[in-house]
């Protein structure tokens, strides 16, 4: 046994000690899942291959380490304790309220690259970080620790495909094949050859090792860094609970902390631990190779003919190209529909900063998170309906403090003949649930361009809903659309009710306004271009000055504009009548579907008259 191996084995014992004591102190956690990967990650961090400035976790040249199996967080914290960056006292705060050592990693802990724990997502984040290094010609590598249970997740295989497609030789996966999941044996158990065949078939270099033999571990990492043109997966056969005989490779101990008396027995087995040693991590290159920034000089908004309808999705693509000089960290990702979302406009102008993600929306969102965590400004586009597939990735990105802009096109029944499978009808509700998210819904090309710019300037998650149909111009190039605002398009002192809408149905509301005006009925008309945060002030004024609010939206009734308006007016007892998609959608012409769902001009007129007759 080499001196290096002997020295690293001292650290593995210390890390196991920290894992066991911290989880017992917490009374919960995942010690067995942490113990199985201990040798693997100790060998990585302290074996001379991993390069990281521990005093500067965000240093651009640092290698990145993602715990996709986030439940192994006791291992992550124990490693940084062994590196001298977490005290033993702090380790004892694991899982306690207010501690940065949460049950699954979040970026409040500075050595956690992203929030993980919803399994199957870490490799996608790693793909994003590896793409970032390739784009900026940075020398760092990205390592992702995966569990064998999460290999059943389709998002992992989406990431495997894309990493090979982009020839990410700077990406290394570490697969901890410990055989046991939460309720029993995993799909392939300890059949590491099965994993090798499948992963190799996706275009990865594969290295199979015994995950508890340090000499094999170090050799595997040394081989991995020599591979240049494709990603590498180290497939390690391990034992869950390694190092403690009475839990090692035994079912029933997933997510179970040892009781105090069990801890005493486990530590006795572990033997004497040197708590004075501290692991040294190799330093990264000091030369920064970051792409040159472009000129931040603002460009004038695109101009659109006032007499020619333009789809908001088209304006989205135009805006990306216009804004890129002001936001040189921008990247654009699309799920093989860029000619429909108009992300292809950016692709043609800046192909090196456009990433085709193919029809794999979960991986697209995870990759965007990885890019965001490394300082990029990702714009992510697909049909609004298909973003629902990736809701878990979107949900998790909020816990990583993501700065991602989502664009869902082809929203609502107004897309027409393609039918319900293509209709985004849940998207507003979905994005409204994301903490501190912004939900924008432009109605014409001018507002769309301005709202794309607002999205780029905003720090955080933003959703932009665009339409398939071309719509007329409503606004002038000098009009502004601040986040949290709305536009009052029609107003008078005699308004009977207020109609609130956005997108395609706003034009139905304008038609209804003209028809009602001819009959002597005036209504207030509000363009709710920002659904979240909602313009509460304007809505409250409307609630005071008119007798009811009628909302009109090309979206299911639950969770959309109507619910947003009701929440804003909880202290104002005013009726809110919601016109929304309530019938099972079907194929048809847009105007037929708007009529069928009773969100057309005719339906709005009927709703207004019905209410005014009651009055």
Mean pLDDT of 126-139: 97
pLDDT given for residue 573 in this prediction? 83
The set of residues, in sequence order, having a beta carbon less than 8 Å from that of 484 and lying 6+ positions away, is 530, 533, 534, 535
101 DSSP 8-state letter:
S
**Residue 247 bridge partners (DSSP):** none
468 DSSP 8-state letter:
S
Mean pLDDT of 300-320: 92
**Residue 550 bridge partners (DSSP):** 499, 577
Q: Is 361 a catalytic residue?
A: yes
Listed by start position, the domains of the chain span 3-270, 310-471, 487-614
Mean pLDDT of 337-346: 97
pLDDT given for residue 513 in this prediction? 97
Instruction: Output the 3-class SS for 311-347.
Output: EHHHHHHHHHHHHHHHCCCEEEEECCCHHHHCCHHHH
258 DSSP 8-state letter:
P
Instruction: Output the 3-class SS for 475-493.
Output: CCCCCCCCCCCCEEEECCC
Query: Rounded CA gap, 549 and 570, in Å?
Result: 13
DSSP alpha helix (H) spans, 458-559: 504-518, 536-545
Per CATH, 3-270 and 310-471 having the same topology is answered yes
DSSP alpha helix (H) spans, 211-258: 214-224
Specify the fold of 3-270.
Rossmann fold (3.40.50)
Q: Could you tell me which CATH number the domain at 310-471 has?
A: 3.40.50.970
pLDDT given for residue 302 in this prediction? 85
Selected catalytic residue, list 113, 158, 356, 361: 361
Lowest mean pLDDT among 1-15, 231-245, 566-580: 1-15
The set of residues, in sequence order, having a beta carbon less than 8 Å from that of 509 and lying 6+ positions away, is 499, 501, 525, 552, 601, 604
pLDDT given for residue 7 in this prediction? 83
What's this model's pTM, rounded to 2 decimal places?
0.96
- Report which secondary-structure segment, H or E, holds 524: strand 523-527
Query: Rounded CA gap, 447 and 458, in Å?
Result: 16
Residue 250 class from Cβ within 10 Å (0-12 exposed, 13-18 middle, 19+ buried)? middle
Q: Could you tell me which CATH number the domain at 487-614 has?
A: 3.40.50.920
Query: Rounded CA gap, 128 and 116, in Å?
Result: 15
Does residue 408 register a pLDDT over 80?
yes
């Amino acid at each position: 046994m080499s001196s290096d191996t002997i020295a690293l084995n001292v650290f593995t014992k210390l890390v196991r000690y920290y894992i066991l004591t911290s989880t017992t102190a917490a009374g919960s956690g995942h010690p067995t899942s942490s113990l199985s990967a201990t040798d693997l990650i100790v060998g990585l961090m302290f074996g001379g291959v991993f390069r990281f400035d521990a005093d500067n976790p965000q240093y651009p040249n640092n290698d990145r380490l993602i715990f996709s199996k986030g439940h192994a967080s006791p291992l992550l914290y124990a490693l940084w304790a062994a590196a001298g960056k977490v005290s033993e006292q702090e380790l004892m705060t694991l899982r306690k309220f207010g501690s940065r050592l949460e049950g699954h990693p979040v970026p409040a802990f500075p050595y956690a690259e992203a929030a993980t724990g919803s399994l199957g997502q870490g490799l996608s984040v790693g793909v994003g970080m590896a793409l970032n290094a390739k784009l900026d010609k940075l020398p760092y590598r990205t390592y992702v620790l995966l569990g064998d249970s999460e290999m059943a997740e389709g998002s992992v295989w989406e990431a495997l495909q894309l990493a090979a497609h982009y020839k990410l030789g700077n990406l290394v996966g570490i697969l901890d094949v410990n055989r046991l999941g939460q309720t029993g044996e995993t799909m392939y158990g300890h059949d590491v050859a099965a994993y090798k065949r499948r992963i190799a078939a996706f275009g990865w270099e594969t290295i199979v090792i015994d995950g508890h033999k340090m000499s094999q571990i170090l050799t595997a990492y040394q081989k991995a860094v020599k591979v240049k043109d494709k990603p590498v997966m180290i497939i390690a056969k391990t034992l869950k609970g390694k190092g403690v005989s009475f839990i090692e490779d035994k079912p029933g101990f997933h997510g179970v902390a040892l009781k105090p008396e069990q801890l005493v027995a486990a530590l006795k087995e572990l033997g004497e631990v040197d708590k004075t040693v501290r692991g040294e991590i190799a330093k990264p290159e000091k030369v920064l190779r970051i792409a040159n920034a472009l000129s931040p000089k603002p460009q004038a908004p695109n101009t659109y003919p006032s007499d020619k309808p333009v789809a908001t999705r088209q304006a989205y693509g135009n805006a990306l190209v216009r804004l890129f000089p002001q936001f040189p960290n921008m990247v654009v990702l699309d799920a093989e529909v860029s000619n429909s979302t108009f992300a292809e406009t950016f692709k043609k102008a800046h192909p090196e900063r456009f990433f085709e993600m193919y029809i794999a929306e979960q991986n697209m969102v995870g990759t965007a998170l990885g890019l965001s965590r490394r300082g990029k400004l990702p714009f992510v586009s697909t049909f609004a309906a298909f973003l629902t597939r990736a809701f878990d990735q979107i949900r998790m990105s909020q816990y990583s403090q993501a700065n991602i802009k989502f664009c869902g096109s082809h929203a609502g029944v107004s897309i027409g003949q393609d039918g319900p499978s293509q209709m985004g009808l849940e998207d507003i509700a979905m994005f409204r649930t994301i903490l501190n998210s912004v939900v924008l819904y432009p109605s014409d090309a001018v507002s769309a361009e301005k709202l794309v710019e607002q999205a780029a300037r905003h720090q955080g998650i933003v959703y932009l809903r665009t339409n398939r149909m071309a719509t007329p111009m409503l606004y002038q190039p000098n009009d502004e659309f601040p986040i949290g605002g709305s536009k009052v398009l029609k107003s008078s002192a005699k308004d009977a009710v207020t109609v609130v809408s956005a997108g395609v149905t706003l034009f139905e509301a304008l038609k209804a306004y003209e028809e009602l005006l001819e009959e002597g009925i005036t209504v207030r008309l509000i363009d709710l271009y920002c659904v979240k945060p909602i313009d509460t002030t304007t809505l409250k004024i409307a609630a005071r000055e008119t007798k009811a609010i009628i909302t009109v939206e090309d979206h299911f009734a639950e969770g959309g504009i109507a619910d947003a308006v009701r929440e804003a007016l909880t202290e104002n007892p005013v009726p809110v009548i919601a016109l929304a998609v309530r019938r099972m959608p079907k194929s048809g012409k847009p105007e037929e579907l708007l009529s069928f769902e009773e969100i057309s001009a005719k339906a709005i007129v009927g709703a207004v008259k019905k209410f005014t007759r009651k009055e």
